Amino acid sequence: MPHTLRQQLADLVLLGELKPGDRLDEHKLAERFGVSRTPIREAIRQLGASGLIEIRPRRSAVVRSFDRTELSEAFEAMGEIEALCAARAAVRFNESERLRLRALIATSEDITARKDRSAALEMDFEFHGLLHDGARNWMLKTVAEETRLKITPYSAALFTMESYDADLGRPHNQHAEIAEAVLVGDGDRAGALMREHIAQALISLQTFFEETAAQPDAPKAKGRT
């Protein structure tokens, strides 16, 4: 099942080939995907409306980048939204979802032990996706995923760093705790734990970006030596 052009383009950003601040050259992208500029432009506009890239009239579109303040606000907002999903999921989960969640945590345990960062990233998406579905609210799910999408270029970068190996256990343990609260039906606790989980993720992100000097908002080296 071939992805849509829009998804293929998004993947360039989501999988890290294009990083925040990078320009999107319509000609080159058209050539790369073997189509004309017209469909490329349409895909770019869509991703622009999704907030994944930034569209500036008469100038190249660029991958959306956040400064420290924006990143912190984004995580604060996401924390609240994910907390909402978790709290509702705790109350509305059905039996098959409970089974799936349990299985997910077990698999995650394994992945964490093997320090497979790539699998851990996928697992992270699945875990949160399961809670988004469990909230049984289409709009809430949409909002959660749109929010998550916008910061993905940053959070995904974390999982690609070798130095993140050491901290891989923390998110897993937090997921396990949240899952427990969800399975017990304790919405308030699940929500609170989720809020904390997202807050921790922000701290990890900030820490690693400070260390590597690849900080958000850092001016891109564009040929200027």
Partner DNA sequence: AACATAATTTTTGTATGCAATTTACCTTTA
Partner DNA sequence: TAAAGGTAAATTGCATACAAAAATTATGTT
Binding interface with DNA (CB under 7 A): 5, 23-28, 30, 34-39, 41-42, 57-61, 222-223
Nearer to DNA, 18 or 198 (CB): 18
Q: Which residues contact 202 (CB under 8 A, 6 or more apart)?
A: 71, 72, 75, 76
Residue from the set 5, 16, 19, 45 that interacts with its own copies by CB under 8 A:
45
Give the neighbor-by-neighbor strand order of the sheet with 61-63. Answer: 23-24, 61-63, 53-54
* d(C-alpha 177, C-alpha 183), whole Å: 10
How many separate helices (H) and strands (E) can be counted in the chain? 9, 3
Nearer to its own copies, 16 or 39 (CB): 39
CA torsion through residues 40, 43, 49, 50, sign: negative
- Is 74 a residue that touches its own copies (CB under 8 A)? yes
Q: Kindly state the smallest distance separating residue 65's Cβ from its own copies, in Å.
A: 13
3-state DSSP assignment of residue 115: coil
Nearer to its own copies, 64 or 189 (CB): 64
* Tokens 């996401």, residue located: 78
Q: Which residues contact 100 (CB under 8 A, 6 or more apart)?
A: 130
- Is 199 a residue that touches its own copies (CB under 8 A)? no
- Residue 175 CB burial class (10 angstroms; 0-12, 13-18, ≥19): buried
Q: Kindly state the smallest distance separating residue 37's Cβ from its own copies, in Å.
A: 10
Residue from the set 7, 36, 38, 60 that interacts with its own copies by CB under 8 A:
38
- Is 8 a residue that touches its own copies (CB under 8 A)? no
- Is 70 a residue that touches its own copies (CB under 8 A)? yes
What character string, x for contact with its own copies (CB under 8 A) and - otherwise, covers 157-196? Answer: ----------------------------------------
- Is 65 a residue that touches its own copies (CB under 8 A)? no
